């Protein structure tokens, strides 16, 4: 699919796309308690999680996970807690993902390969020690696994990345009656009687940020509804305050309110605990009056694409000066028309779409947004985007 984007004013009111992270956590929660949720226009990753849970419940020994690293990394500990022999596979992007950390940690589990496709067989031990640098998703998966086993302890060797997603998992369980504590680098899982979950999947701040930034780039005003109340720790929701720091009108009061400014200031942000914000921040930094710096970005190399490289190459395509030396450096400028090909990375396609709303542009393989937000292009059109889809 190819989209042609013309300079447009993005403004109005829109409901945030459902949170991929919370949605997958709720779907896996259905292995432990009753979950009643309705997901409209499910993304590819949500569909994968649903299919994975069905496969486990039906006792299947083969599970295909598409391109969902979240589902894969959370599922490995869950399957090991169940003591099943299961083969896991995924698409070419997932086959490239490193799995070294979880192989090293699961001493009682045998793996047929160091990458997908692989078969695992064995049983998770009641206590585990795991390196925290590669992915927080393993640790979230271990929290589920120890609920299956009746409790356990997770010792995390620093450095730890994406801590906010671990806290998200802990919040999900504790709100439903469990007792999960994170003390320094140790997590204690003491399962309680979990209540059933009835409700909806709240909106996703990182995905919604592409709507917010599209409006800021084009001089608009926007209200985004359906989001959760931002917690006190740094996470995807912190984009609200980051944009405010850059001189946008940006605040949360029941919904996220965004209003553009004639000038945006550069920003220095460490995104280690919320790496999915990097493409969004880099996009608005492209027009800031000065040099912005994104620190803590090394884990971006093992996303759907090497996101350090693809963020920089996308900015350069739009004639924005960007480079990498331990951090991503973005020199604010004036984006110009560009044609890009999505490198099978949904957030890079959204980044290119936002920049194109200011400068004009074309995105090939634009259907890659289906991984997290299949309504992305449709939503931008609804908000005033002049976009042709072919």
- In the block, residue with structure tokens 């996470």: 235
- Paired with 64 in beta bridges are 89
The string of DSSP codes covering 187-242 is: EEEE---PPPEEE-PPB-HHHHHHHHHHHHHHT-EEEEESBPPP-SSSSGGGHHHH
How many domains does one find in the chain?
2
154 and 216, same domain (yes or no): no
Which of 183, 174, 114 has the alpha carbon at shortest distance from 154? 183
DSSP-derived pairing of the beta strands 12-15 and 386-389: unpaired
The string of DSSP codes covering 158-184 is: SP---HHHHHHHHHHHHHTT-EEEEET
13 and 43, same domain (yes or no): no
Identify whether 276 is a catalytic site residue.
yes
339 and 190, same domain (yes or no): no
129 and 30, same domain (yes or no): yes
77 and 174, same domain (yes or no): yes
* Tokens, residue 388: 């042709």
11 and 26, same domain (yes or no): no
34 and 102, same domain (yes or no): yes
Q: Which helix (H) or strand (E) holds 331?
A: strand 328-331
- Structural domain ending residue among the three candidates 138, 166, 199: 199
184 and 212, same domain (yes or no): no
Which parts are annotated binding residues for phosphoenolpyruvate?
Answer: 20, 97, 137, 307, 347, 371
Are 214 and 221 within 8 A, CB to CB? no
* Tokens, residue 323: 């480079």
* Residue of 45, 204, 273, 276 marked active site: 276
The Cα 358–Cα 379 span in angstroms is 17
pLDDT at 279: 98
367 and 348, same domain (yes or no): yes
pLDDT at 39: 86
The Cα 125–Cα 108 span in angstroms is 7
Could you tell me the CATH number of the domain that includes residue 288? 3.65.10.10
Which of 57, 73, 60, 92 has the alpha carbon at shortest distance from 21? 73
127 and 244, same domain (yes or no): no
166 and 278, same domain (yes or no): no
Which residues span the domain enclosing 291? 2-17+203-389
DSSP-derived pairing of the beta strands 249-252 and 127-131: unpaired
- Structural domain ending residue among the three candidates 147, 181, 199: 199
The Cα 49–Cα 68 span in angstroms is 8
Are 168 and 100 within 8 A, CB to CB? no
pLDDT at 302: 85
Determine the 3-state secondary structure of 320 from DSSP.
coil
Low-confidence ranges of the chain (pLDDT < 70): none
* Tokens, residue 75: 């599922």
Which parts are annotated binding residues for 3-phosphoshikimate?
Answer: 20-21, 25, 135-137, 162, 276, 303
SS3 content of the chain, % helix, strand, coil (to 5): 40, 25, 35
- Structural domain ending residue among the three candidates 176, 199, 222: 199
112 and 9, same domain (yes or no): no
Which parts are annotated binding residues?
Answer: 20-21, 25, 97, 135-137, 162, 276, 303, 307, 347, 371
Please report which residue ranges of the chain form alpha helices under DSSP H.
20-29, 44-57, 69-82, 92-95, 100-105, 136-149, 163-175, 205-218, 239-245, 278-285, 307-317, 346-359, 376-382
The Cα 314–Cα 309 span in angstroms is 9
pTM over 0.85: yes
Which of 169, 109, 181, 184 has the alpha carbon at shortest distance from 136? 169
Which of 355, 293, 291, 346 has the alpha carbon at shortest distance from 324? 293
The Cα 314–Cα 321 span in angstroms is 10
Determine the 3-state secondary structure of 51 from DSSP.
helix
């Amino acid at each position: 699919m190819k989209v042609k984007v013309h300079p447009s004013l993005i403004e109005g009111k829109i409901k945030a796309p459902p949170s991929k992270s919370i949605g997958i956590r709720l779907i896996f929660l259905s292995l432990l308690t009753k979950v009643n949720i309705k997901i409209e226009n499910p993304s590819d990753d949500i569909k994968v999680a649903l299919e994975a849970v069905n496969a486990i419940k039906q006792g299947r020994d083969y599970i295909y996970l598409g391109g969902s690293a979240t589902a894969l990394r959370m599922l490995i500990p869950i399957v090991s807690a169940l003591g099943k022999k299961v083969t896991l596979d995924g698409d070419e992007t997932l086959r490239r993902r490193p799995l070294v950390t979880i192989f090293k940690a699961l001493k009682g589990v045998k793996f047929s390969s160091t990458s997908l496709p692989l078969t695992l067989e064995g049983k998770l031990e009641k206590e585990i020690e795991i390196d925290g640098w590669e992915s927080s998703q393993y640790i979230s998966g271990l929290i589920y696994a120890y609920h299956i086993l009746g409790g356990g302890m997770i010792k995390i060797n620093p450095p730890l990345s994406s801590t906010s997603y671990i806290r998200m998992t802990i919040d999900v369980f504790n709100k439903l009656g469990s007792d999960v504590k994170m003390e320094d680098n140790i997590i204690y899982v003491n399962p309680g009687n979990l209540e059933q979950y009835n409700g909806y999947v709240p909106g996703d701040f990182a995905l919604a940020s592409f709507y917010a930034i599209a409006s800021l780039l084009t001089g608009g005003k926007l209200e985004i509804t359906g989001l959760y109340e931002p917690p006190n720790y740094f996470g995807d929701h912190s984009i609200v305050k980051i944009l405010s720091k850059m001189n946008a009108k940006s605040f949360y009061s029941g919904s996220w309110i965004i209003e553009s400014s004639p000038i945006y200031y550069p920003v220095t942000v460490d995104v280690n605990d919320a790496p999915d914000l990097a493409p969004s921040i880099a996009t608005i930094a492209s027009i800031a009056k000065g040099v912005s710096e994104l620190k803590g970005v090394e884990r971006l190399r093992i996303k759907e694409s090497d996101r350090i490289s693809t963020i920089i190459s996308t900015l350069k395509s739009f004639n924005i000066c960007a480079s990498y030396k331990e951090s991503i450096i973005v020199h604010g400028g004036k984006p110009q028309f560009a044609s890009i090909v999505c490198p099978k990375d949904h957030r890079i396609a959204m980044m290119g779409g936002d920049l194109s709303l200011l400068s004009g542009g074309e995105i090939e393989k634009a259907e890659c947004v289906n991984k997290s937000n299949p309504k992305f292009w449709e939503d931008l059109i609804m908000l005033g985007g002049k976009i042709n889809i072919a």
